[in-house]
Amino acid sequence: MPDHKIIREHKHLKVFGNLLHDGNLWHFNRRSVSGAFAVGFFCAFIPLPLQMVIAAAIAIIARVNLPVSVSLVWITNPVTMPPIFYLSYKVGAFAMGQEAITSEYKLTAEWFTEQLDVIWQPFLLGSFICAVISAALAYVLIRFLWRLHIISHIKERKARMKQHSKS
Number of domains in the chain: 1
- pLDDT for position 7: 65
Q: Determine how many CB atoms are found less than 10 A away from the CB of residue 38.
A: 27
Contact 35, 62 (CB under 8 A): yes
Helix ranges, 4-100 (H): 4-9, 30-44, 51-62, 66-72, 81-96
Run of H or E residues at 11 = none
Contacts for 85-90 with beta carbons within 8 Å, 24 or more apart? 85/47, 85/112, 85/123, 85/127, 87/126, 87/130, 88/45, 88/47, 88/123, 88/126, 88/127, 88/129, 88/130, 89/119, 89/122, 89/123, 89/126, 90/126
| Banded pLDDT at 147 (limits 50, 70, 90) | very high
**Domain ranges, residue 47:** 4-166
pLDDT (tens digit, 9 = 90+) per residue, 78-110?
899 888 988 999 999 999 999 887 756 566 677
pLDDT reading at 138 higher than 90: yes
Task: Read off the pLDDT band of 19 (50, 70, 90).
Answer: confident
